[in-house]
Amino acid sequence: MTVHFLVRMMEDLSMAIIEQIALSCKKLRLSRNIVENLEAIEAKGNKEFLLELFNMEIEYREESRSIRNIKNAGFYSHKSFNDYVFDDIKLPDGLTVDILKTCDFIRNKQNLIMYGTVGTGKTHLATAIGITACNQGLAVGFFRTAALVNKLVDAKKGGDIQRFYFECGLRHHNNRTFRELFQKS
């Protein structure tokens, strides 16, 4: 056997193993990203290799979730806090710019109502908060007031209000405002 033949045989064996790994990933419902990362990992041992592979997969899934959440949110444009000027807004007591930027008020199930005249930055701020929340793995639905009211009215007329609640993340639909708004008269 020549060296060339042995190298070719090892490459074929390696490809067969990679194909088996890809098939196993599919059966386990793991992403193809794992197979693509196999060659990029330099580890001292099996445990370190697996840890690095899993960390890469977690990072890939978080990035994918963020992109998917932003796409599904329905933002009209992409805005961030980087170019937002907080000088002309008044925040309620207990709410700080840092809390807005970390989206802690969302996790604490606190409401935020923004109001003001045209051009004060309400949509910019709402979009920046929403995109930040999406990047933190939270699902977001972005609606302008008129669009939300129209969707609610249409869902009510079409008998799909429960589905609309579900799609908006109101699975338990205990939101008093929505219940009162659409009570049968």
The pLDDT-based confidence of 124 (bands split at 50, 70, 90) is very high
Q: Inform me whether the pLDDT recorded for 82 exceeds 80.
A: yes
* Portion of the chain with pLDDT greater than 70, in percent: 84
Query: Which own/partner pairs from 172-179 qualify as long-range (CB within 8 Å, at least 24 positions apart)?
Result: 178/152
Q: How far apart are CA 9 and CA 2, in angstroms?
A: 11
Q: Inform me whether the pLDDT recorded for 159 exceeds 60.
A: yes
Q: Where are the domains of the chain?
A: 3-73
Higher pLDDT, 37 or 70: 70
Q: How far apart are CA 1 and CA 100, in angstroms?
A: 68
Confirm whether pTM is higher than 0.85. Answer: no
Q: What is the pLDDT of residue 9?
A: 56
Q: Inform me whether the pLDDT recorded for 113 exceeds 80.
A: yes
The pLDDT-based confidence of 5 (bands split at 50, 70, 90) is low
Max intra-chain CA distance, the chain: 88
Q: How far apart are CA 140 and CA 82, in angstroms?
A: 20
